[in-house]
């Protein structure tokens, strides 16, 4: 298969795999090879390489937020260890000490709409950006600074680096109301975009980082809601989770991700380029080692019959293809 054909299929299925929220549903069957197509294919190849080699995953998490200036000030004191750690604002002014924290509190309270000590709406969002142990903390902080300048532009924010724990991380507190009056309201899609931006900034500083979804990585971990865990600990849980749902090996997103991997593997294995065929071997091993593949391959017929139709249609044995010789 020629390079033009391979690039076209890579872009079509790679966008489904890595950018499902932004993909175009209808694509031309044989995309014309041009500079833009080559660039897109190169980006998809980079994403595939990072995913298959299991590059360190970034973490971006909204940990809460204050509904009044009292809660916001308490968070400032917490992340700065009551002024002992340097706190940097959106103007890149770095200060430390209790007086610096008090000054920031006054700036946020009186700058823009006045913030009462106790309020009824969220006036700030607390965000934590983290990388695995061993990551250079100073470069991590630089990447977070660039991330904030892009994703939080027009909002007041402060950031503090924590490197005294196993995983280096940065705490960000961002004012919900921007200078234009528009309020920040992060959603699930925003968090994934934030992860993508953070990973890009880290790579710009030479840190290997990726931001792929669990479905793309073939992971099927699911977590019980916090309320259920608390109720179980307190002995107040009366309704047990649906066992059938808990046994489902793949959601729609995971099934579609496996399907995309199958098309990508097939086209790379048929490529005229030796490096593409070698990448196909690595993809096959990666998919076969994923928890989604192993769980689906071990399903008994009676279990498979109870699955939703989109999962039943997924022939997991065909996704990774035959075991390719290394």
Contact present, 43 and 114 (Cβ < 8 Å): no
**Residue ranges per structural domain of the chain:** 3-55+248-319, 59-204
In whole angstroms, give the CA distance from residue 40 to residue 37: 5
Query: What is the predicted pLDDT for the residue at 243?
Result: 43
Task: State the Cα–Cα distance between residues 111 and 121, nearest whole angstrom.
Answer: 17
In 249-315, which residue ranges form alpha helices assigned H by DSSP? 252-269, 274-289, 291-297, 301-305, 309-312
Look at residue 315 in the predicted model and tell me its pLDDT: 53
3 state SS of 143:
helix
Sheet holding 94-95, edge to edge: 59-64, 124-130, 169-175, 157-162, 87-89, 94-95
Q: Both ends of the chain: CA-CA distance in Å?
A: 20
Alpha carbon separation from 216 to 45, 63, 252, 286, 290 (Å, rounded)? 14, 24, 12, 11, 10
Can you tell me the distance from the alpha carbon of 218 to that of 261, in angstroms, rounded to the nearest whole number?
A: 10
Q: What is the per-residue pLDDT across 205-244, written as a single tens digit (0 to 9) for each?
A: 999 999 998 889 888 665 555 556 667 777 776 665 554 4
Would you place residue 33 in the very low, low, confident or very high pLDDT band (cuts 50, 70, 90)?
Answer: very low
Cα 91 to chain centroid distance, Å, stands at 27
Cα–Cα dist 201/152, whole Å: 14
Of the pLDDT bands very low, low, confident and very high (cuts 50, 70, 90), residue 246 is very low
Architecture, CATH, for domain 59-204: 2-Layer Sandwich (3.30)
The whole-model pTM stands at 0.78
Which residue, among 271, 269, 278, 249, has the nearest Cα to 320 in the 3D structure? 269
């Amino acid at each position: 298969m020629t390079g033009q054909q391979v690039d076209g299929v890579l872009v079509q299925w790679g966008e489904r795999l890595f950018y499902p929220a932004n993909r175009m549903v209808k694509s031309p069957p044989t995309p014309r090879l041009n500079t833009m197509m080559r660039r897109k294919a190169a980006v998809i190849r980079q994403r595939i390489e990072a995913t298959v080699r299991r590059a360190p995953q970034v973490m971006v998490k909204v940990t809460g937020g204050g509904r009044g200036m009292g809660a916001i000030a308490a968070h400032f004191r917490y992340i700065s260890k009551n002024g002992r750690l340097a706190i940097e604002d959106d103007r890149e002014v770095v200060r430390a000490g209790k007086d610096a924290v008090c000054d920031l509190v006054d700036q946020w309270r009186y700058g823009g709409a006045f913030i009462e000590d106790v309020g009824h709406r969220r006036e700030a969002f607390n965000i934590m950006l983290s990388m695995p142990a061993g990551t250079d903390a100073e470069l991590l902080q630089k990447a977070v600074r660039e991330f904030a300048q892009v994703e939080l532009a027009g909002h007041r924010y402060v950031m503090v680096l924590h490197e005294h724990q196993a995983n280096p991380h940065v705490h960000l507190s961002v004012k919900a109301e921007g200078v234009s009056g528009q309020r920040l309201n992060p959603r699930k899609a925003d968090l994934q975009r934030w992860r993508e931006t953070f990973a890009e900034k880290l790579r710009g500083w030479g840190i290997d980082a990726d931001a792929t979804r669990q479905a793309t990585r073939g992971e099927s971990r699911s977590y019980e809601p916090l309320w259920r865990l608390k109720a179980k600990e307190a002995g107040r849980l009366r309704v047990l989770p649906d066992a059938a749902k808990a046994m489902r090996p793949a959601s729609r997103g995971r099934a579609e991700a496996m399907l995309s991997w199958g098309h990508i593997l097939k086209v790379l294995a048929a490529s005229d380029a030796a490096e593409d065929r070698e990448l196909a071997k690595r993809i096959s091993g990666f998919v076969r080692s994923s928890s989604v593949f192993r769980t689906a391959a071990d399903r008994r017929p009676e279990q498979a019959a109870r699955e939703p139709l989109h999962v039943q249609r997924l022939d997991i044995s065909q996704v990774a293809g035959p075991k390719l010789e290394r």
